[in-house]
Amino acid sequence: MRKLALFTSVILAGLSVGAFAATEVIHQQGRVFSLEAATVKKGQALTFLNDDTVPHNIMSASKGNEFNLGSQPPGTSTDVSFKEAGDVQVICAIHPRMKMMVKVTD
């Protein structure tokens, strides 16, 4: 019975990945981003998931792609779409060591 439940959840996970194939998830566990760098196409989104035990405040001041998610409690996620091509430095305003680069392509 347990095996069947596991099998079913794998299928459901596969379906949801298929439905949102364009959105990559950036985790924030242990006060680090799960990727140091990511590449998206202009207009595409990344999902910033706070699966840590503390709040994070993800933001960017890079020209054309400025955003500030404010305080993001553990267990929540927010999609950010990138509007301009170029390199975007994404940081956490609370934890200065949390940094990643997003390359936005045309």
Binding region for Cu ion (CB under 5 A) out of 1-9, 32-40, 52-60, 80-88: 52-60
Joined together, the tokens standing for residue 54 give 């503390």
Nearer to Cu ion, 85 or 93 (CB): 93
d(CA 40, CA 62): 15
- Label the pairing between strands 67-68 and 58-60: antiparallel
Q: Count each helix (H run) and each strand (E run) in the chain, helices first.
A: 1, 8
Told to check if 27 binds Cu ion by CB under 5 A, we report no
Binding region for Cu ion (CB under 5 A) out of 9-17, 33-41, 77-85, 94-102: 94-102
CB of 50 to Cu ion, least distance (A): 8
Binding-site size, Cu ion (CB under 5 A) = 5
Ordered DSSP codes for 6-49? HHHHHHHHHHHHHHTTT-EEEE-GGGS-S-SEEEEETT-EEEEE
CB of 83 to Cu ion, least distance (A): 24
Told to check if 95 binds Cu ion by CB under 5 A, we report yes
Residues of the shown chain interacting with Cu ion in the complex, contacts defined by CB under 5 A = 56, 92, 94-95, 98
